[in-house]
Amino acid sequence: MKVAVHERLQAVGAAAWGALHARSRLRSPFTTWTWQAEWVRVFAQGRRLEVWRVEDGGEPIALLPLHEAERSGWQMLGGADVSDYLDLVAVAGREEEAWAALLGARAASAAPWTLHAVPAASPTVTAMPALAGAFGLAASVDVEERCPVLALPATWEDYLQSLDGKQRHELNRKMRRVAREAPDARPVAVATRADVEARLGDFLDLHRRSRTGKARFMDARMESFFRAVCPALADAGMARIWFLDAPAGPLASFITLEWDGTVGLYNSGFHPDHAALSPGLVLLGHLVRDAIARGKRRFDFLRGEERYKYDFGPSPEDVCRVSIAPAGAPRA
């Protein structure tokens, strides 16, 4: 095994990154070249980067992209504030040997590594404590957040029957109310680069109207990031923007991300003047129905355990923070 460290993403390149991502266990949009490179462009200007590459016989088998945080060593690129899942980008099944090579190469370093947003089922979580000890390092794993995830049945009718009586009644009631009081409202999805570019402004407007906190979140830098990644991911079949459109303008909107039979609910917005109609919840029902119709296996509500998500019947899955440092060092 050979380990090299690069100071720029371009030392790896989009093609090599994409080829490795396609062979990895977690093939989500958050670990794609597009997402990572745009995150660096928007949020990591001036920060030191270390892109650790593991090769076996000249073949890349893993990438660990890190940036230097202000007071806590090194963290994975992507940012836990915008990326719901992050991890080592490695050939599926070779994660543990890749981690062994990385830990051996960094063993003498005193700087801690903090890996945010790692799925609990990842070898980065399950194998790291034992692996780290073999190299004089200590690894700790903490549950950082949870993602409510819905296993999708074969039909919409089966899904409705899986809900408890109250959940089913409330969903049907809200959908009937919109049909009665806003009969011209229709769910619409845009999925091409051109259409996403054309309607992203509508999403951003609804997002900022929804709550004061969302307006603060969607500042100029964040908008620049969204305007770069959403059309590019749509071009790769990994992003859509949904609207509950009405003649007077959209009532609600969601950005969804897609990978490996999964639809992920990434971000949302709704018009507060129509809050009484629960347009977001009604549109969300249409999203679940569409995912089932397209044969998707999972509907992932992504990080955050807001109550409305659990009204759709998902189960929580842990997302972890993995911290790696020399044995005996204080935890970050």
Ordered by start, the domain boundaries in the chain are 2-146+318-326, 153-296
Give the pLDDT confidence score for residue 212 in this predicted structure: 62
Residue ranges of the alpha helices (H) in the chain? 14-22, 33-43, 95-106, 123-126, 128-133, 156-162, 165-181, 193-210, 212-217, 220-235, 279-293, 307-310
Give the pLDDT confidence score for residue 70 in this predicted structure: 78
277-315 pLDDT, tens digit each: 999 999 999 999 999 999 999 999 999 999 999 999 999
Q: What is the Cα 87 distance to its own chain's centre?
A: 11
Same fold, 2-146+318-326 and 153-296: yes
Is the four-CA dihedral 126, 128, 131, 134 of positive or negative sign?
Answer: negative
200-254 pLDDT, tens digit each: 999 999 999 987 667 688 899 999 999 999 999 999 999 999 999 999 999 999 9
Residue 242 and residue 188 in contact, taking contact as beta carbons nearer than 8 Å? yes
Share of the chain above pLDDT 90, in %: 91
User: Which tokens go with 171?
Assistant: 């969903």
User: Which tokens go with 316?
Assistant: 């929580």
Domain 153-296 - what CATH class? alpha beta
CA separation for the pair 198, 231 (Å, rounded): 10
Which residue in 270, 240, 268, 266 sits closest to 252, CA to CA? 270
Residue 332 pLDDT exceeds 60: no
114-131 pLDDT, tens digit each: 999 999 999 999 999 999
**Helix (H), strand (E) counts: the chain:** 12, 13
The amino acid sitting at 133 is G
CA separation for the pair 257, 242 (Å, rounded): 11
Is 3.40.630.30 the CATH number for 2-146+318-326? Answer: yes
Residue 331 pLDDT exceeds 70: no
pTM score of the predicted model: 0.94
